Amino acid sequence: MVYTSDLRGKHILRDLHEEILQELEKEKLSDNVFLRIFDDSQEDDKSWEDGGLTFVDPDSGKTLGSNDAGWYVLDDKPEPLVIVEATFGTERGQFGDGQFNRFSHPLAVTKLGYVGVMLIPFKGESYSKKDGISGKNTEFASMKYAHLNKTMTKTALGVSDKEKGEYLMIDFYDLDSLKKLIVEKTKERFGFQNNAKMIVEEIKERMKNYSSDGPEPRSKIDTLYDSNKKKIEKSFGYIFTQNFEALTTSTKRDGHGLLGKILSLPYYWSKETFYPIFLRLDNVAIGKLKERKGKEISYIFKNSKINVVSRDQLEFDDKSLEIKLKSIEGVNLFQNRKTELIKEIRNQLRLGKIRIKK
């Protein structure tokens, strides 16, 4: 079996479990907590009730991705204590929004009232092909530091504020915090004197400090207007530039990250209605996406609670701008970013010169 990033994380968590049991033995609780973990990710994909590590979102009835490990206690049935999604994304070339690929995995856990943890290096060394421009170059590659996305960290805090459980982000190189969390949550569960609340607050405080100087996401549209030129109250929009190919071909695989981003942003601005605005998807493309059966795409485009806005639902004062937007539908924006065009559309949305048709 190939030694993947997932297996690396799982082996570390198995070792951590032994340390946890040693700590709990002091309270005679080592026989009361168990670890569910598998080498085969197909086992992760089973529902928690069927012995796996996947949970159902109570709002949509859909699963939101499998996790990597789960500590639990036995009541009449296994009851989750702390569920962990472990990733070395910041050491594998995920410098920005790619980190949202796994954001959804612990989300259902938190919504159900348990503790969900994303375990990820807050600062990782990522290697890419030598570019001769940035990073620390070797003869074969360029090393760049990848930092945990501060928007995602702030969003996780919003999940904890709004939902029944806790969504925590812990540095993979701060395993002591995870160990303390599980030990203290076990003591709490069995009525022993514990510091569970203090440990949770300490972790959240580190998250707050880390994300405090993070910039506001630039693609947010603070003010939206309808076709009657009236401001849509208590709402915000967010621009997405994926085209149909990016969401449907195996080489792109944007659906996973897109789902994480769409699920996360309402927690960042929790008191507002969210409108995801897809600049390069018309009504026909969205209709085709609704017919697809993939989990991520189905969740986004078949979900009546997500106010998806297609390009056809945008009303332009400047028709030449609309024509320019349509002309880039098939353009690879990584190679030809069209930054000025997207910036102008964003500005005109904010000014009400582009409006959402009702």
- What are the sequence ranges of the domains in the chain? 5-211, 220-356
Amino acid 251: pLDDT: 56
What distance, in Å, lies between the first and last C-alpha atoms of the chain?
Answer: 53
Amino acid 216: pLDDT: 81
How would you classify the pairing of strands 166-170 and 115-119?
parallel
Q: Which of 269, 251, 262 is nearest to 301 (CA)?
A: 262
Of the ranges 78-87, 142-151, 295-304, the best mean pLDDT one = 78-87
What the block records as the tokens of 173 is 């190189």
Amino acid 1: pLDDT: 39
Q: How confident is the model at residue 140 (pLDDT cuts 50, 70, 90)?
A: low
Of 129-143, 239-253, 322-336, the least confident? 129-143
Q: Which of 63, 23, 54 is nearest to 36 (CA)?
A: 54
Per-residue pLDDT at 138 exceeds 80: no
Q: What angle do CA 261, 266, 269 make, to 5 degrees?
A: 120
Q: Which of 73, 53, 78, 77 is nearest to 63 (CA)?
A: 53
Per-residue pLDDT at 196 exceeds 70: yes
d(CA 224, CA 301): 21
Amino acid 2: pLDDT: 40
